Structure 1
């Protein structure tokens, strides 16, 4: 199978028919063998009924319905697990991503041998203050932190080799950072293509300003996980040990000075009246706690179970 088109959605009933017709037309013109996987992330409108209708008309249409809203990352994870195409294309259901971009993205994966190609909505139709400026700041920070040189991490239109989606773990709200996850998993050839951005035709965006705050927090998380996710003791243990020994030697020095003053009949105040004693004690306690945090992190990594992060209510054509 050439292509898997993966579309996570939430309450996009108005746009589904137009999107589906457009995708099928592109598939037929280019003579692709394909599957379209709609992942309904707990919609409260009639999105699922429309997907059921598509699946009855076209066996290439498949559907996954979550029992409630679990988030875009979980929707992508479920779709990645089911996708069978040589190339997987992800796109949003709001018609802001153009299916006409699919052939070029497919060729970049197959002919140019990219592991992943991310869309870049260079010209946007969003609010400059509400989205464009925060997006530029977010993408700049993501490039500097991750080392992945993309201009638009948030673009939902992306293409992947099948092997890539089977080897990345998308959780929480990490869908923005799949290119970073792919790089960390051993897929370094990541490309970018300027794609057409279309104004939203129906409904309203599901994302507000909080997505940028969450994005920056997720960026810190993925930076940490990429460096210390497998060995937390390397960070917490090292910092904890350093703080403990600094506190220990400071306390040793204070104790030695007290003994020296007693031996030479010199006046020396009580140890507990010396503020450095409490600084040393606090440093030793914090160092011990950090060391234990690293130790517990190592234990958790070795004993964790991979509990499902979402519940699937229904499936179609799988």
Structure 2
């Protein structure tokens, strides 16, 4: 199969017939064998009934329905697991992503051999309350991930080589950082394509301001797990040793200061009367605790069932 189109949705009954028909036209015009996977994330409207109707009309349409709302990341993860196409396309269900972009995305994956091509909505039809935080998050993600060639990590319109979606796990709010997950999994040829951003035709956005807080926390999680997930002692141990030795150096300084004062019959203050004493004490205790945290985390990591789970691209 050439293309799998994975579309997560929540209360988008009005847009689904037009979206599916538009995808069908694009696929037939380009001679693609295809499937359209509609993942209903616990909609409370008639979305599932619409999906069932569309499936009866077109056997290339597949539907997956959650019992409740889990979020976009969960919907994408399930869709990825079910996808059979050589190229997997994701798009939002609100008609703001254009299926007309699919042929070029497909070409770049199959001919230019990209692992992932992310859309860039250079001209957006969103309010400033959405675009400004998005720009800040994109900037932070570029700096933390090292993927400097992407302007829009959160664009729903993306294309993937099948190996990519089969070797990453999307959860929480991680759908915003799929290129980062792909990079950590060893897929490094990541590109970008400027795509059209259409005004919303039906309904209203389903995302609130809390997504920015959750997104930032997930970015920190990705950075930590990707860099130190299999070697936590390198993080906690380093921080602990630095803190411990900082406290130790301050302690030695206080002792030396007191000994010098005694040897020269000078007046000196008690160590407990000096702020440095308490800074040293806290630094030593924190350093010891961080080191123990790293040690325990290392034991957990080494005994994890995933401790030797690595991405293997080829095997002969």
TM-score (norm 1): 0.88
- 8 Å contact kept, 1:86–1:162: yes
Q: 1:260 to 1:197 in 2, by over 3 A?
A: closer
Secondary structure of 1:168's counterpart equals coil
The offset of 1:279, in angstroms, is 1.7
| 3-state secondary structure, aligned to 1:160 | strand
Q: CA RMSD in A?
A: 2.1
Separation (CA, whole Å) in 1 of partners of 2:304 and 2:51: 36
- Structure 2: runs of 5 or more not aligned: 307-316
CA distance, structure 2, for counterparts of residue 12 and residue 115 of structure 1: 30
**1:261 to partner: Cα distance:** 6.1
Counterpart contact for 1:10–1:40, Cα < 8 Å: yes
Judge conservation of contact 1:184–1:226 (CA < 8 Å) in 2.
yes
1:58 aligns with 2:58: yes
- Aligned partner of 2:170 in structure 1 is 170
Give the Cα separation in 2 of the matches to 1:38 and 1:10. Answer: 10
TM-score (normalised: structure 2): 0.89
Aligned residue number for residue 311 of structure 2:
none
Instruction: Report deviation, 1:59.
Output: 2.5
Task: Return closer, same or farther for 1:305/1:11 CA change in 2, 3 Å cut-off.
Answer: farther
- For structure 1, the residue ranges without an aligned partner over 5 or more in a row are 307-318
Partner of 2:42: 42
Q: Deviations over 1:247-301 (max 9, x none)?
A: 1233244345556766887655444333322221111011111112222322333
Partner residue, 2:125 = 125
Per-residue CA shift, 1:142-195, capped at 9, x if unaligned?
222222121111110000000011111212111111111112211111111111
Helix, strand or coil: the match of 1:119? Answer: strand
Where does residue 310 of structure 1 map in the other structure?
none
Contact in 2 for aligned 1:130/1:209 (Cα 8 Å): no
> Does residue 234 of the first structure (1) align with residue 234 of the second (2)?
yes
Could you tell me how far apart the structure 2 residues matched to 1:49 and 1:304 are?
42
Report what 1:138 is aligned to: 137
Superposition pairs for residues 228-267 of structure 1, below 5 Å? 228-255=228-255, 258=258
> Partner of 1:59: helix, strand, or coil?
coil
Which residue pairs with 2:21 in the alignment?
21
TM-aligned CA distance change 1:262 to 1:144, over 3 Å: closer
